[in-house]
Amino acid sequence: MSKNKRSSGFWIVLLVLAAIFIFYVLDQGSVNDELNQEQEIKSVDEGPPTKVVETGGSVKRTFTWNYKGLYPEYTVNFNSTVYEIYKKRSRSRDYDLFASDPYDDYLIKGIIEKFTDYGKKQGLEYGDIPYFVVSFIQSLPYTSDNVTSGYDEYPRFPYETLYDGGGDCEDTAILGAAILNEMNYGVALIIFKDHVGLGVKCSEEVEGHRYNYEGYDYCYLETTGENWDIGKLPEEYINEKARVVPIYKRPYLDIDFNGDFKQELINVYSNLNITIYNLGSETADNVKIYAALQTRDESKVWDDHTSEPLNIKPEEGYYHRITNLKSPVGEDFRIYVVAYGDNIVSEEVTSEWITWN
């Protein structure tokens, strides 16, 4: 079937989304400096697990816990404006993308630096540092999403979990994965039906529960509750299957569209408004949008259009309009949209079947 191309398209960056994150990205350096200066860890006598002090737009949170007889006190200063930006970010992304989020890198690196320096001063071996970090994460209070956010499921970025002073199972697993991944330990999220834990690459010598993914073993590590050893799995999940999701940076494209139509003589002309967001943790390179009016034989189309390529950074969004895609009056068609690039192929998005008589 021949295709009569009368379509045109253009890209427009979504200024509302860009305005939020342009501020954030441009200010990231200064926020980074502030956090590096105001993160502190020291030894204290046993004290309350967490405490918080709010001053203007600043929130200082202090965490105290027990690690092998030491009582570290970790203090970090957060920016409430940055926190509000985080709350506006979409939750419609896979859990691993919360852990690999590039906008948390400065915070995660600061934690590793402070914890490593403290460990050295206290005579800890380098191999003890990841266990020290995990002890901190396990000490965080468990808080229900329904109570703290009003949603049944509300995964948090690491910045949010620490700002809030705790979280539920996926929040602490995400935080742990972000830190250990930055420390160059191979990590994955272990996802059950109603629970999320952490997996750490391990050798055969390590005892306990493990999960294999593409030839690698990931030993289970519980992040909710204190004193869980690596390989120790809560009894209620021993016989339950789990999904293993390794942590690495990757793009993830979310697409939505709507359209309007008009009839002229024997043809129907479709105009499409397409929005595309990168909810991933890596730039999507040379992305093109392909849109078509499919026939009932889904291998054929009445008309189609391919956009010019562009790069889409994490949290960046674009609007693309296509006009005058043509189909015959009286023939069924369905709108089909997909985006693809050098390092990404999005999910295919389709409309219901449309008949224009």
Lowest mean per-residue pLDDT among 4-13, 157-166, 211-220: 4-13
- What whole-number percentage of the chain has pLDDT above 70? 83
- pLDDT tops 70 at residue 50: no
pLDDT of residue 156: 95
Asked whether the predicted pLDDT for residue 146 surpasses 70, the reply is no
In sequence order, the 6+-apart residues with CB closer than 8 A to the CB of 345 are 338, 339
Band (27; pLDDT cuts 50, 70, 90) = very low
Smallest CA-to-CA distance from 67 within 132, 117, 129 is with: 132
Q: In angstroms, how far is the first alpha carbon of the chain from the final one?
A: 21
Q: What secondary structure does DSSP assign to 209-237, as a single string?
A: -EEEETTEEEEEE--SSS-PPTT---GGG
What does DSSP assign to residue 252? -
Q: Is the pLDDT of residue 145 over 70?
A: no
pLDDT at position 59 is: 87
pLDDT at 356 (0 to 100): 79
Q: Is the pLDDT of residue 13 over 50?
A: yes
pLDDT at 122 (0 to 100): 93
Q: Is the pLDDT of residue 45 over 80?
A: no
Question: Given pLDDT bands bounded at 50, 70 and 90, which one contains residue 26?
Answer: very low
Residues 138-144: what's their mean pLDDT?
88
If we measure between CA atoms, which residue out of 203, 206, 195, 207 comes closest to residue 171?
A: 195
**Distance between CA atoms of 185 and 208, rounded to whole angstroms?**
18
Whole-number average pLDDT of the chain: 86
> How many H-runs (helices) and E-runs (strands) does the chain carry?
8, 19
Pairing mode of beta strands 50-55, 58-64: antiparallel
* pTM as predicted: 0.86
Query: What pLDDT, in 10s, does the model give residues 316-351?
Result: 999 999 999 999 999 999 999 999 999 999 999 999
What pLDDT, on the 0 to 100 scale, is given for residue 33? 46
pLDDT in tens, 84-100: 999 999 999 999 999 99
Work out the pLDDT band at 3, boundaries 50, 70, 90: very low
Q: What is the mean pLDDT of residues 115-124?
A: 93
Single out the residue of 28, 9, 7, 8 nearest to residue 313, CA to CA: 28
pLDDT the model gives residue 37? 40
pLDDT tens sequence across 194-232: 999 999 999 989 999 999 999 999 999 999 988 899 999
pLDDT, one tens digit per residue, over 239-267 is 999 999 999 999 999 999 999 999 988 99
Summarised one tens digit per residue, pLDDT across range 69-80 is 999 999 999 999
Residue type, 221: L
pLDDT surpassing 70 at residue 357: yes
The pLDDT of residue 137 is above 70: yes
Domains of the chain: 8-15+251-350 (2.60.40.10), 39-183 (no CATH)
Pairing of strands 58-64, 196-201: unpaired
Mean pLDDT of 21-36: 41
pLDDT band at 35 (very low <50, low <70, confident <90, very high): very low
